[in-house]
Amino acid sequence: MKLFALCGNQGWKQRVILSDCMLFVTDTHALIHHITGRKRRLGRRARGTFERVKRGADAVLVPFTVLEEVMLLSEAGKVRLPLPFRDLVISLAQADNFDLGVNDMQLLLEAASFTTLSDPYDRLIVAQARVVGLPLITGDGEIQQSGLVRTVWD
């Protein structure tokens, strides 16, 4: 995957930090706050993480489910994106420090393995972080309290 071009070619399943480059998964609201410039809405550690990503020191996997939620929130007028959704996705796909996740059978089966989270989008986002073994950037209290995944926020 593209993100490891920055950190070495180890594959997503390894939980290794190579050459000081850290890898993260983002949830929907964290990504929205980052791309809309509402950085004060991010927790201190989340803000620092996105700053390192912006500098190219760290990298983020954006789950397909996050992109789906961003699209739906944008279409409903609940989120105002700085550029059209299509252009945003293309921009993220072309960025060296972002990679776009895919929904596949492994992800679905992982999400089906726990029912402690009520929101189906949250389950798929947490499943993505679990499948790749990376911490999740999230301020969602239910996810943080679940203990299903390591989180980054405050």
pTM, two decimals, is: 0.89
Give the position of tokens 């999740």. Answer: 136
The per-residue b/e assignment along 52-67, b for 16 or more CB within 10 angstroms, e otherwise, is bbeeeebbbbbbbbbb
Domains of the chain by start residue, with CATH: 21-152 (3.40.50.1010)
Please give the pLDDT value at position 1.
43
Per-residue pLDDT of the chain (154 residues; tens, 9 = 90+): 444 444 533 444 343 444 578 999 999 999 999 999 999 999 999 999 999 999 999 999 999 999 999 999 999 999 999 999 999 999 999 999 999 999 999 999 999 999 999 999 999 999 999 999 999 999 999 999 999 999 999 9
Nearest alpha carbon to residue 27 among 137, 121, 149: 137
